[in-house]
Amino acid sequence: MNDKAGRYLLSVLLAMSIVIPLSNLLLPEGSFFHVSTYAMTLLGKYLCYALLAVAVDLIWGYCGILSLGHGAFFALGGYAMGMYLMRQIGDRGVYSNPELPDFMVFLNWTELPWYWQGFDQFWFAMLMVLVVPGVLAFVFGALAFRSRVTGVYLSIITQALTYALLLAFFRNDMGFGGNNGLTDFKDILGYDLQQDTTRAALFFASGIALILGYLISRFIVTSKLGRVLVAIRDSESRARFLGYRVEHYKLFVFVVSAMLAGIAGALYVPQVGIINPGEFAPINSIEMIIWVAVGGRGTLFGAVIGAILVNYAKTYFTGAFAELWLFLLGGLFVLTTLYLPKGVVGLWAQLKDKHAQNKQQAAMKEAEGDQA
């Protein structure tokens, strides 16, 4: 309840989640207040990215775990949703095979792999959205944290993890569509994915998921557990000396963060219509860190703002200055590091502090002049 900025943000997100779908469905296209399906889908993508940024901020901003591999958890959640959507195509595919997706028929597969079993059921797919990223994060985190791998070394091995998955999913014999990935989705829960009503429902679901993800993260960081996480971030060796099982705390928050990333990926896929190994690319995980840094590390609401701002800028500049976008992104990160250490949300506080310092210095000079 003390999170004033968070309350404002959640109020705006809730209003957006309701108003934007209604304006798309109820208002005529000629109306000034009508939101096009394209714009709504684009905003839905931003909301998924914002949930992913909250997941990254939870571990980096509050526990000091700089993960450069969170794109792996996002992509795994997306693949789990993509597998469900592929199973829903049935005999409407190019090859009219009721069991095998088109890419398997093309590659002369004769039966559905065992790890595709169950994905014809929505509840099972949603369970896998949480379980697969969570189990990977648990295994990876247990090995890394018990070995006391920290700092840049942990960042490097998380990046190695996502790169290894990128190479694996590119292989056709993995059974995930190879380079092309999973696409040509038809419907979800029996509703046509191309219908405006379905798009509106997905946007609403993305907004509600972001709100719930924010509240879960906020609950964690404001609890006694959250205070221990901050202590680990500030001085892990001292927290360990005081008797805390540091690896258990880090493992817990790492798994929760991975599950949130998986949910973001699952909501992202039906809105963009494709999931391929490119989502595992290390550059994607690095971009997530930039979102959080630009918005404001260790604030949660700053991560949401940073994700939306940077991705909006990416959408604009990749169209206007496609060849310069990566340079602009790198420059933005450098400027943020040098001049906005607390991100965009800390800019006002920085200006207030600077103004207060200037007033104090002016008062001191005036006092010295009076004494002279």
The secondary structure of 193-239 as a DSSP string is TTSHHHHHHHHHHHHHHHHHHHHHHHHHHTSHHHHHHHHHHH-HHHH
Instruction: Estimate to the nearest angstrom the gap between the alpha carbon of 27 and the chain centroid.
Output: 31
pLDDT at 125: 96
Element (H, E) at 64: none
Count CA atoms closer than 13 A to 231's CA, side-chain side. Answer: 18
pLDDT at 372: 57
Rounded mean pLDDT, 360-364: 73
Count of positions (residues) in the chain? 372
SS3 274: strand
Backbone angles phi, psi at 324, to 5 degrees: -100, -5
The answer to whether residue 2 scores a pLDDT higher than 90 is: no
Residues facing residue 191 across a β-bridge = 188
**pLDDT tens sequence across 82-136:** 999 999 998 898 888 889 999 999 988 989 999 999 999 999 999 999 999 999 9
Rounded Cα–Cα distance for residues 7 and 2 (Å) = 9
Rounded percentage of the chain residues whose pLDDT exceeds 90: 73
Tokens of 50: 């914002």
pLDDT at 355: 63
Eight-class DSSP state of 118: T
The answer to whether residue 154 scores a pLDDT higher than 90 is: yes
Query: Counting beta carbons within 10 angstroms of the beta carbon of residue 107, is it exposed (0 to 12), middle (13 to 18) or buried (19 or more)?
Result: middle
Do 280 and 163 meet the contact criterion of CB atoms below 8 Å apart?
yes
pLDDT at 75: 97
Q: Are strands 274-275 and 191-192 parallel, antiparallel or unpaired?
A: unpaired
Contacts of 126 by beta carbon, 8 Å cutoff, 6+ apart: 266
**pLDDT tens sequence across 214-238:** 999 999 999 999 999 999 999 999 9
Q: What is the pTM of this model?
A: 0.92
Helices vs. strands in the chain: H and E counts, helices first: 14, 4
- Residue 352 binned pLDDT confidence (cut-offs 50, 70, 90): low
User: Terminal CA-to-CA distance of the chain, rounded, Å?
Assistant: 51
Handedness of CA 87, 91, 95, 100 (dihedral sign): positive
The residue whose two tokens read 């993260």 is: 217
CB count in 10 Å sphere of residue 183: 17
Element (H, E) at 95: none
Rounded Cα–Cα distance for residues 243 and 258 (Å) = 26
Do 64 and 301 meet the contact criterion of CB atoms below 8 Å apart?
no
The answer to whether residue 316 scores a pLDDT higher than 90 is: no
Rounded mean pLDDT, 256-266: 97
SS3 109: coil
The answer to whether residue 212 scores a pLDDT higher than 60 is: yes
> Average model confidence (pLDDT) for the chain?
91
pLDDT at 253: 97
- Residue 332 binned pLDDT confidence (cut-offs 50, 70, 90): confident
pLDDT at 3: 77
Q: Kindly provide the residue ranges of all beta strands, DSSP E only, lying in the chain, ordered along the sequence.
A: 182-183, 187-188, 191-192, 274-275
Tokens of 86: 């592929």
Rounded mean pLDDT, 35-48: 95
| Cα angle for residues 150, 153, 155 (degrees, 5° grid) | 90
Long-range contacts from 305-312, C-beta under 8 angstroms, 24+ separation? 305/9, 305/344, 305/345, 306/53, 306/343, 306/344, 307/46, 307/49, 307/50, 307/52, 307/53, 308/46, 308/49, 308/50, 309/344, 311/45, 311/46, 311/49, 312/46
Contacts of 289 by beta carbon, 8 Å cutoff, 6+ apart: 56, 60, 66, 68
Do 269 and 85 meet the contact criterion of CB atoms below 8 Å apart?
yes
Span of 41-50, 214-223, 313-322 with lowest mean pLDDT = 313-322
